[in-house]
């Protein structure tokens, strides 16, 4: 069994993937045509070429343009169902999906209540029909007014199926202005999982640590500050690492220069994720396979990375036990197959 085959078949859990960034190119074109939205390209190949990112602002431009293709609750349900189908094919048992409800409301006019109902229908369908679980992380967009952030925190903390409050967008626009929204969510028992340490350095991670995050999206620039690495390790804060995304957006020049091995060597709790898979030409299976090849990660390390995601997931104790069992049994079955192949 090749490493690619092993990574495709092994059971997985994903903690950092954006719903809007997971829209298939074919679906984006279909929604654009149906809803009268103009995109810079009208073919799948053209969209992929357009998505060859120059920098983070260009990525935001692409992300917003694709989000503007969403015009109805049915569009949202379709996107979420297709996403879950893709996760099922990859043997992703559980996904925690970041979703920017405020941006969708801004461009589509769909109220949060209608968005939520459509997404919840898809989540329940995925669990019933596909046997995969999922939940939402509702994120605040850096640069939005604090009043808007408070509204998002209100939505997130009062809606079924929302697992956490996120914070995304251009990191240079700040973190601390949104502390009141984070505090509101925390008062209601909702965890905080911000993006930090991707397009800026350790200083943004430090800002987020002051707000007691449960996990950090990316966090890879922490390697620039040895003391910060020690703090992350000692506090047991998981990092949602997205290697292909980091390279595509120019955070690191190449996968070979990505600090994933350093983070592992330092004992930081790392999880592997795909971020915006169609936009970056990847999948979660691809992420594991590419890292396994680039950094010579053996199957024990792949198992450890997967268990990190299980242990960092925002699920019930009962579901965590189920996931641990499924991952353990899934890896054991693959090991048995490999042993049988060697004996044959």
pLDDT mean over 142-146: 96
Q: How far apart are CA 195 and CA 197, in angstroms?
A: 7
Pairing type for strands 239-241 and 270-272 reads: parallel
Judge whether residue 70 has pLDDT over 80: yes
For residue 344, pLDDT over 70 is answered with no
Q: Say which of 198, 203, 266, 329 is annotated catalytic.
A: 198
What pLDDT is stored for residue 69 in this prediction? 86
Spell out the domain ranges in the chain. Answer: 3-343
The answer on pLDDT for 53 being more than 70 is: no
pTM of the model: 0.94
Please report the pLDDT score of residue 8 as a whole number.
97
Task: Output the furthest CA–CA distance in the chain (Å, rounded).
Answer: 65
Does the domain at 3-343 match CATH 3.10.150.10? Answer given as no
> For 288-302, what is the mean pLDDT?
97
Answer whether residue 32 shows pLDDT above 80: yes
DSSP sequence for 138-190: EEEETTS-HHHHHHHHHHHHTSTTEEEEEEES-GGG-SGGGHHHHHHHHHTT-
- Report the pLDDT value the prediction gives residue 257, as an integer from 0 to 100: 97
Distance CA 195, CA 179 (A): 14
**Closest C-alpha among 60, 11, 44, 31 to residue 276:** 60
147-191, pLDDT tens digit by residue? Answer: 999 999 999 999 999 999 999 999 999 999 999 999 999 999 999
pLDDT over 70 at 254, yes or no: yes
Is 198 a known active-site residue?
yes
How confident is the model over 255-263, as a mean pLDDT?
97
Q: How confident is the model at residue 49, as a pLDDT?
A: 77
Mean pLDDT of the chain: 94
Task: Give residue 319's pLDDT band: very low, low, confident or very high (50, 70, 90).
Answer: very high
Of the pLDDT bands very low, low, confident and very high (cuts 50, 70, 90), residue 279 is confident
Of the two residues 52 and 109, the one the predictor is more confident about is 109
Mean pLDDT confidence for 215-242: 97
């Amino acid at each position: 069994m090749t490493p690619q085959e092993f990574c495709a078949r092994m059971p997985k859990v994903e903690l950092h993937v954006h719903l809007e960034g997971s829209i298939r190119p074919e679906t984006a074109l279909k929604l654009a045509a149906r809803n009268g939205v103009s995109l810079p390209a009208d073919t799948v190949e053209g969209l992929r070429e357009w998505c060859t990112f120059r920098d983070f602002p260009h990525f935001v431009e692409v992300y917003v343009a694709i989000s503007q293709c969403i015009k109805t609750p049915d569009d949202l349900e379709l996107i979420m169902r297709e996403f879950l189908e893709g996760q099922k094919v990859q043997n992703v048992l559980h996904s925690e999906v970041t979703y920017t409800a405020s941006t969708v409301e801004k461009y589509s006019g769909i109220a949060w209540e209608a968005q939520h109902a459509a997404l919840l229908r898809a989540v329940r369908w995925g669990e019933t029909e596909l046997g995969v679980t999922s939940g939402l992380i509702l994120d605040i967009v850096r640069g939005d007014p604090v009043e808007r952030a408070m509204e998002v925190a209100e939505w997130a903390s009062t809606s079924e199926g929302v697992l956490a409050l996120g914070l995304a967008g251009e990191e240079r626009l700040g973190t601390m202005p949104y502390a009141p929204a984070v505090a509101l969510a925390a008062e209601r028992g909702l965890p905080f999982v911000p993006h930090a340490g991707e397009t800026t350095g350790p200083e943004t991670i430090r800002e987020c640590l002051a707000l007691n995050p449960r996990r950090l999206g990316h966090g890879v620039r922490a390697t620039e500050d040895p003391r910060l690495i020690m703090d992350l390790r000692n506090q047991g804060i998981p990092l949602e690492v997205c290697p292909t995304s980091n390279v595509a957006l120019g955070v690191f020049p190449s996968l070979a220069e990505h600090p994933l091995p350093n983070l592992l060597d330092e004992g930081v709790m790392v999880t592997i994720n795909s971020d915006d898979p169609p936009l970056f030409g990847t999948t979660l299976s691809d992420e594991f396979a590419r890292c396994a090849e680039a950094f010579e990660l053996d199957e024990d390390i792949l198992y450890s990375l997967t268990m990190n995601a299980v242990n960092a997931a925002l699920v019930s104790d009962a579901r965590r036990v189920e996931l641990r069992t499924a991952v353990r049994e899934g890896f054991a079955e693959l090991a048995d197959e490999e042993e049988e192949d060697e004996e044959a």
